[in-house]
Amino acid sequence: MTAGYKLVQLANGAHSVHSLVHGETFHPAIGPVAEAEALYVNQLSLGQRLKDFGGELVIWDVGLGAAANALTVLRAVRELPCTIRLVSFDQTSAPLEFALQHAEALGYFGGYENHIHELLRANQVAFRDGQQSVNWELRLGDFPALLAHPATQKLPKPHAILFDPYSPKKNPEMWTLPLFTRLFQLLDPQRLCALPTYSRSTIPRVTLLLAGFFVGVGHATGQKEETTIAANSPQLIAEPLDRKWLARARASHSAEPLSEPVYRQAPLSAVSWEKLQAHPQFRP
């Protein structure tokens, strides 16, 4: 146990990283690789998308953490001829540094250790792996502040966003309506982009909808029967939230988006309810 993190073994035998500061374990149900495969690789249909896509695929990795999501995605498509531009965001590289010290137990670093060392040293690394060409950039700092900076407009527009910060209770600044609104504004409306995340709670779903996204039920991961997927186009949502869900959201005591980085629970305001009803997803 070092630097505020410890290695833990999950019920299925897989190992993961636990943050002592936040009191949360990364990928706690089925382990790092299995969760990343279900939530991101399979749900985003990355293999098929790359086969149908001729250019550079841009992925934003929001919440790099111990890099399980990013490395699982890269490994899943390593045998496809493709170019991947990966931009990872995190407040700190400490969990990745800790994870690298326990690479053998975690099991998902195999073959990428040298690339991770270079990423940590220079905040960027470029390499070829199998048939893929990878350009990987690490941007450290406060993510909401980074999004608000004008220079963020120059970042490559994503085709996919792996959204995996700590939970809203422990990390509310990453789940506010202003953050998701800004994130939606940064997307290229001519470029299809999907954003899966592990939460199925009403507050994040309402927040994504009010920010402009289309939102649907995401794939199950371990103990979670469903997660959430958002996108800038309804064609990327296989099971969109419907008006029955909308009625449940209206009746919920915990549905109003966070307007500031302070966690609280509240029912939908009249203004939010009116905006939700006007969303294209719920129009007859």
* DSSP assignments along the chain, one per residue: -BTTEEEEE-TTS-EEEEETTTTEESSTTT-HHHHHIIIIIITTTHHHHHHH--SEEEEEEE--TTSHHHHHHHHHTTTS-EEEEEEEEES-SHHHHHHHHTHHHH---TT-HHHHHHHHHHSEEEEEETTEEEEEEEEES-HHHHHHSGGGGGSPPPSEEEE--S-TTT-GGGSBHHHHHHHHHHS-TTS--EEEES---HHHHHHHHHHT-EEEEEPPBTTBS-EEEEESSGGG-SSB--HHHHHHHHH-SS-SPBSSSS----PPPHHHHHHHHHSGGG--
Cα-trace Rg, the chain? 18
- pLDDT for 122 equals 98
| Choice among 29-33, 204-208, 225-229, 271-275 with the minimum mean pLDDT | 29-33
Query: What is the distance between the alpha carbons of residues 174 and 46, in angstroms, rounded to a whole number?
Result: 25
Contact 111, 118 (CB under 8 A): no
Query: What is the distance between the alpha carbons of residues 192 and 235, in angstroms, rounded to a whole number?
Result: 9
Query: What is the distance between the alpha carbons of residues 180 and 160, in angstroms, rounded to a whole number?
Result: 14
Q: What is the pLDDT of residues 199-208, one digit of tens each?
A: 999 999 999 9
Looking at the whole model, is its pTM more than 0.85? yes
Query: Which fold, 27-282?
Result: Rossmann fold (3.40.50)
pLDDT band at residue 2 under the 50/70/90 scheme: low
- CA angle, 36 then 194 then 90, to 5°: 60
**Residues whose CB falls within 8 Å of the CB of residue 271, separated by 6 or more in sequence, listed in order:** none
- pLDDT for 135 equals 98
Q: What is the pLDDT of residues 71-97, one digit of tens each?
A: 999 999 988 899 999 999 999 999 999
Question: CA torsion sign, 262 to 155 to 86 to 80?
Answer: positive
pLDDT band at residue 31 under the 50/70/90 scheme: confident
Q: What is the pLDDT of residues 125-169, one digit of tens each?
A: 999 988 899 999 999 999 999 999 999 999 999 999 999 999 999
Contact 209, 281 (CB under 8 A): yes
Q: How far is CA 100 from CA 34, 65, 67, 115, 125, in A?
A: 19, 11, 9, 11, 16
Query: What is the distance between the alpha carbons of residues 158 and 78, in angstroms, rounded to a whole number?
Result: 19
Query: What is the distance between the alpha carbons of residues 116 and 93, in angstroms, rounded to a whole number?
Result: 11
Query: How many alpha carbons fall within 13 Å on the CB side of residue 196?
Result: 27
pLDDT band at residue 1 under the 50/70/90 scheme: very low
pLDDT band at residue 46 under the 50/70/90 scheme: confident
